[in-house]
Amino acid sequence: MKFYVLFGPPGAGKGTQAGAMVERYNLCHLSTGELLRSEISAGSPLGLQAKALIEAGNLVPDEVVEGMIESKFKSVKEVKGFLLDGFPRTIAQAEALDAMLAKGGEAVTACISLMIPDQLIHERIAHRANIEGRADDARPEVVENRVKTYHDKTEPLIEFYKKAGRYHEIDGVGTIEEVRDRIFTEMDKF
C-alpha cells in the first residue's frame, strides 16, 4: 500500500490535481477539507465545532482529524494506496501519521509538495471564493490567517519530510496540465 502526502499552501492546486492523481495511481483521496465539509453540511456536532474553527481561519483539533483518517485507512480496501490532502499539517500530525502507519507495518511513501508564491496564494483563494462560493475563502483576514498558519505550523513539515528522504517539491506555477505532468513525472518513480 502506498501513502502519499499532498502538501502545499492554501490555493496551491492540491484539490485541482488530486483527482488525476487518484485516477492514474488507483488511490483513495482523503481530503480533510472534504471530510470536514461533509460533517458541516450534515450538521453533526463535529461539523458545527469544525465550522466555527474554519470560519475563524483556525485548524480543527488533531485527534478529530486523526480519527477520521485512521477510520478511512481501515475501511477502504480496493485501492493501491491513499492520497492525504490537508493532513498532516503539523509536525505532531506527521508523527501521529507515522505511528498510525507503523502499526500496520507501513510508512509514508512520499510527500508531494506543490509550491507557489504567497501573492499567487491570495489570487487563487480569491478566485476560488468567487467560483465555489466558499465563505471561508472570501474574507481577507481569514485568508491572511490561513497563510500565516501555513508558514508557522505547516511549513516545518518540509524539513520533517526532507530528513525522512520523502520530500518531493513540484513547481505549482503554470497551467493545470503543466503542473500535473510535473507531478506524474515525480510519482512515476515510486
What is the rounded CA–CA span in Å between residue 48 and residue 114?
A: 30
139 catalytic, yes or no?
Answer: no
pLDDT of residue 49: 81
Which entry of 89, 124, 180, 182 is annotated as an active-site residue? 89
14 catalytic, yes or no?
Answer: yes
Which entry of 2, 128, 180, 182 is annotated as an active-site residue? 128
Structural domains of the chain, with CATH: 2-187 (3.40.50.300)
What is the rounded CA–CA span in Å between residue 87 and residue 100?
A: 13
Tell me the pLDDT tens digit for each residue of 88-120.
Answer: 988 999 999 999 999 999 999 999 999 999 888
134 catalytic, yes or no?
Answer: yes
72 catalytic, yes or no?
Answer: no
Which entry of 134, 153, 162, 166 is annotated as an active-site residue? 134
Give Cβ neighbours of residue 139 (< 8 Å, ≥ 6 apart): none
Query: Rounded mean pLDDT of the chain?
Result: 88
Q: Name residue 112's beta-bridge partners.
A: 6, 168
- Whether 185 and 173 have beta carbons less than 8 Å apart is answered as no
Whether the model clears a pTM of 0.75, i.e. scores above it, the answer is: yes
pLDDT of residue 136: 64
Which entry of 2, 51, 124, 146 is annotated as an active-site residue? 146
182 catalytic, yes or no?
Answer: no
pLDDT under 70 in the chain at which residues?
134-138
